[in-house]
Amino acid sequence: MRYLLTIIAICVVVLPQAVRAQETYQSDLYDFNLVPLGGELNYPWGMDFTPDGSGLLVTEKSGQLYLYDTQSWERREIKGLPEIAEIGQGGLLDVLAHPDFADNDVIFLSHAARDDRGYGTEVVRARIDGDALTDVQTIFAALPKVRGRTHFGSRLLWGPEDKLFITLGERGQMEEAQQPINHLGSTIRINEDGSVPEDNPFVGHERYRPEIFTYGNRNVQGIILHPEREEVWIHEHGPKGGDEINILKAGANYGWPEVTYGVAYSGFEITDQTSAPGMEPPILHWTPSIAPSGMSYYDGDQFPKWQGDIFVGALVEKHLRRVSLSGDKVVGQEVMLDDLGERIRDVATGPDGYIYLLLDKSGGALMRLEPKS
């Protein structure tokens, strides 16, 4: 009887989830299947394909790093990570493979770190050697570290001119986002060894951190390089309302908290200004908030009608958002997978042209969108 009950429990708990994942979903332009890959994950956070497409790196917030074989979808855990501070929204965050990964095995990781002052976002450069990291070096540490559990960012991007972009949050210290004497509420641009590019906008400025590329950002958890326009685009969390997509311009101020379309979670008005001279406006804002996380520009061939669109995961609204563009103008949006009812933490376009998602939960998953044949 005990074994029978075990079998029944497996059927009730596991099978519906697997069958549901294989169901056909509908969008405005395609019917597609959502296929689980590579086993269960525990609050996955970031992913990146190796440049040749043979591997997929995936992080879990609690401090695990996996490398998947994209043919078999078997994975191995990579050990030897730096000390990870898992607290609130912080932990092991994004991962990025070096463009020359096939030759140098180098990756970058962003994570929350702790010292006696508090917590902050740091980035390491390391090399994968078998099943472990070697040559682990911290190449950036956001300063100052502060108390608190929120707004660590943090996405990584290999940008134009072989520069590394790092997105940060203002760690809940919203007024500091207007103070580029510190790193809080900024996006960072550095060389791969952590040095500062000579053409960064605030190099030589006495009171600004030279690593800063933009400031006035609240909590950026999506970044892409627009392949047609050669521009870096981000999205960031607003408070209650006012999530934004922005195009980065060197030295620009994106306004938080002097301008916003949102209000405090308590309902208190932060400001009545949605724009101001000298502050860059968003190309799109979501009010009410969708809580965006992860972002991918689609240029694959599996879904030709989606080419040129941007895909964004939504945490609070629990869906995949497709944003249609004409140049730098938003001309349409579609809510997808809302009937799945899952928080989508990251989105990536694979070298194979499929779209990959990370579901943000204990018992989370790596999923792939495939066109229904």
Give DSSP secondary structure letters for 61-91. Answer: TTTEEEEEETTT--EEEEB-PPP---BTTBS
Centre a 10 Å sphere on the Cβ of residue 305 and count the other Cβ atoms it contains.
11
237 is known as an active-site residue: no
Instruction: Specify the CATH number for the domain of residue 190.
Output: 2.120.10.30
Picking from 164, 161, 187, the residue whose alpha carbon sits closest to that of residue 109 is 164
How far apart CA 215 and CA 254 sit, in angstroms, is: 6
Instruction: State residue 10's pLDDT score.
Output: 35
Instruction: State residue 373's pLDDT score.
Output: 81
Instruction: State residue 350's pLDDT score.
Output: 98
Strands (E), 173-273: 186-190, 212-215, 220-226, 231-236, 243-247
Instruction: State residue 19's pLDDT score.
Output: 32
Q: What is the mean pLDDT of each run of 10 residues along the chain (373 residues)?
A: 38 37 86 95 98 98 98 98 98 98 98 97 98 98 97 97 98 97 98 98 96 98 96 98 98 98 95 97 98 98 98 98 97 97 98 98 97 91
Return the DSSP state at 143: S
Q: What is the pTM of this model?
A: 0.94
How far apart CA 349 and CA 304 sit, in angstroms, is: 13
Instruction: Please count the structural domains in the chain.
Output: 1
Cβ density class 153-189: b for 16+ within 10 Å, e for less: bbbbbbbeeebbbbbbbbbbbbebbbbbebbbbbbbb
Domain with 36, as residue range(s), is: 2-371
Indicate which residue of 111, 151, 235, 237 is catalytic.
151
